[in-house]
Amino acid sequence: MNSTEPAQYLFNPVIPSLAVAGSDRRFPVRRVYCVGRNYAEHAREMGHDPDREPPFFFTKHPDGLLADGGVFPYPPGTRDVHHEIELVVAIGRGGADIAVEQALEHVYGYAVGLDMTRRDLQAEAKKMGRPWAVAKAFDHAAPCSALVPAAEIGHPGTGRIWLDINGEPRQEGDLAAQIWSVAEVIAHLSRLFVLEPGDLIMTGTPAGVGPVEPGDRLSGGVQGVGTLEIVVGQ
């Protein structure tokens, strides 16, 4: 190819997407928002007071999604990668300044996700007052199961959320323990950004976060939504 010719991907852009459970459809992903410290016990284990903090958000890259059953390559630049199991919300109808009472009408479906975190880089960023991007938005940092439409399962507000590593329990909680409900998270986020179809929201993790090592098998789920399994690569 002549070096002056544009790369092929400029003409055939790859749009990140998630499978829709039980069908051959896919859900194109526009943005990935994440809620920080949305379970009281997790907030405490990270050294914060959950009773005094409003929700805050950070983002991951859509092309950082990793499908269920995939291999999560151990990322460079870190020696301390942590798991965080989460309920994922998929927005099907956009809007701004969405009222809490109408927020769930904007949800297309739900999935199980992992907010993989380079914890040592995050700690360094916190100490220096810098953004978390290198800790949260690296390649393959957002493993996610197939989406299940809300029309099929409703809107889970309670239910077990868990993660095992190599068959040993690591994280255990209940959606009812979220500080901010899904509807409240959507309403708050929509005051900061115009939400659009294709947006994902990772809604926070329960207590028990910790490190992973190459060869570990992570298996987790959310009651009534589904399960997610990945293997940590080299």
Whole-prediction pTM value? 0.92
In a domain, 4, yes or no: no
Read off the amino acid at residue 190: S
Cβ contacts of 121 within 8 Å, gap of 6 or more:
77, 78, 134, 135
Q: Output the pLDDT for position 44.
A: 61
| Total domains in the fold of the chain | 1
Residue 186 lies in a domain: yes
CATH number of the domain that residue 168 is part of:
3.90.850.10
CA distances from 88 to 10, 49, 121 (A): 30, 24, 24
> Among 38, 48, 83, 45, which residue's Cα sits nearest to residue 175?
38
In a domain, 162, yes or no: yes
In this prediction, residue 1 has a pLDDT band, given cuts at 50, 70 and 90, of very low
Q: How confident is the model at residue 4 (pLDDT cuts 50, 70, 90)?
A: low
Q: What is the pLDDT of residues 36-65, one digit of tens each?
A: 889 877 556 666 666 657 888 999 999 999
Residue 18 counted as domain residue: no
- Beta strand 65-67 pairing with 142-144: parallel
Per-residue pLDDT reduced to its tens digit, 217-229: 999 999 999 999 9
pLDDT given at position 3: 56
Residue 232 scores a pLDDT above 90: yes
Domain extent at residue 30: 23-232
Q: Is the pLDDT of residue 8 over 80?
A: no
- Residue 57 parent element (H or E): strand 56-60
Residue 13 lies inside a defined structural domain of this protein: no
Does residue 17 lie in a domain region? no
Asked whether 147 and 200 are in contact (CB, 8 A), the reply is no
Mean pLDDT of 125-141: 95
- Assess if residue 228 is contained within a domain: yes
Which residue type sits at 50?
Answer: P
